[in-house]
Structure 1
């Protein structure tokens, strides 16, 4: 399916990721599932840690 959408051969690799943005309460406010042709894409991962741990009350 990805190959058809990206107009590439079905034998080529793809780079797939999951991006999730949350607000200060920990609720998801944005999500994305990008899929890029693996032979034409580079990825850089940057992680920002929060100063406070998020806790969930049960």
Structure 2
């Protein structure tokens, strides 16, 4: 009986952890390709300020 309760509790914790990780991935802006900025290919994570041209310096 105790083993079943512990097993059930562990399953519940693992399920909650999985749901939390899924929410964190969504909040961290996972791109449509499924990679977050912390993963290997970082090209899609370049901030806009690093790629935009400065319109003031052109004038």
For normalisation by structure 2, the TM-score amounts to 0.23
Instruction: Decide which structure has greater strand share.
Output: 1
For the pair shown, the structure with the greater C-alpha radius of gyration is 2
The TM-score normalised by the length of structure 1 is: 0.23
Task: Name the structure, 1 or 2, with higher relative contact order (CA <8 Å, separation 6+).
Answer: 1
The structure that is helix-richer by fraction is 2
